[in-house]
Every structure is written in structure tokens, then in C-alpha cells.
């Protein structure tokens, strides 16, 4: 068994998908034509797929009030500060600025333009 994708409900799947493609390096691997406008996005590794959609049968979580510690999408990056600055210019906001963990990892927590938590991390010792 392997994970196929992780999904979350967003207010505007088309705009969200476009932002993740333009700013985060994803590519669209499938677009839904139904009312949910689901977009399946593959990351640059070719091994991770996320889905953003809007299904009227469920409410959109209150991402702005949710702690990034409850849920976030983490990205390994070569330079946390440069990536943070680039994403902020593209509409992200800083939830928690750069810090160093006890393990020596450099980390920053942002929110995408729709307030979904996005973590930037440079591991002292890579996990993958």
C-alpha cells in the first residue's frame, strides 16, 4: 500500500492550483471537470500528489484560525530565507518566522494566499 494523494478543501481550486504551479513548482496531473473543480498537482519529485478542490457537501476549514502545528504542507528548500521572501512577494504570509529546531533544522511557517499552512524546512540531516 502507498499514499496516492493528500487533499484539502479550498475556496477557489483553480486559483489555488495556479499559485502552487507558479510558486511552488507543481504541475497539474489531472483536472476535474465537475463542480468541485478538483486539481491534482504533482511536485517536482514526481512522487507526491496533492489535491485541491471545493465540494459544496463540506465546509471549508477555518485555516486562518488553525494552528500550523495541527496541519501543514512541508517543503524541503535549499535556502529558507530566500524561499520565504519569494513566496511572501507572491501572496503568502508569515505565520512563524525562521527558527532553528533542537535538531538543527532551519524552519519557517507560512500561509498560502488562502491561509493554508506551508512549512519551509532545511534539515540539518535530510530525512529523504
Each of the 128 residues of the chain gets a pLDDT tens digit; together they read 999 999 999 999 999 999 999 999 999 999 988 899 999 999 999 999 999 999 999 999 999 999 999 999 999 999 999 999 999 999 999 999 999 999 999 999 999 999 999 999 999 999 87
Is the pTM higher than 0.85? The answer reads yes
Residue keyed to cell 506551508: 118
Residue 5: strand, helix, or coil: coil
Residue ranges of domains in the chain, CATH in brackets:
6-53 (3.30.720.120), 68-122 (3.10.180.10)
pLDDT for the residue 33: 83
The residues, ordered by sequence, that sit 6+ positions from 107 with a Cβ below 8 Å of its Cβ are 80, 98, 99, 100, 101, 119, 120, 121, 122
- Round to whole Å and give the CA distance between 55 and 35: 7
15-24 burial, b if ≥16 CB within 10 A, otherwise e? ebbebbeebb
Amino acid at each position: 500500500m502507498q499514499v496516492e494523494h493528500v487533499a484539502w478543501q479550498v475556496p477557489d481550486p483553480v486559483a489555488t492550483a495556479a499559485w502552487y504551479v507558479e510558486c511552488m513548482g507543481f504541475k497539474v496531473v489531472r483536472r476535474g471537470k465537475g463542480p468541485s473543480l478538483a486539481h491534482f498537482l504533482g511536485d517536482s519529485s514526481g512522487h507526491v500528489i496533492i489535491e485541491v478542490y471545493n465540494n459544496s457537501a463540506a465546509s471549508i476549514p477555518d485555516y486562518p484560525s488553525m494552528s500550523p502545528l495541527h496541519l501543514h504542507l512541508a517543503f524541503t528548500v535549499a535556502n529558507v530565507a530566500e524561499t520565504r521572501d519569494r513566496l511572501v512577494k507572491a501572496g503568502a504570509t508569515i505565520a512563524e518566522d525562521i527558527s532553528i529546531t533542537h535538531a538543527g533544522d532551519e524552519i519557517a511557517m507560512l500561509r498560502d494566499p488562502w491561509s493554508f499552512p506551508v512549512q519551509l524546512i532545511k534539515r540539518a540531516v535530510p530525512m529523504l
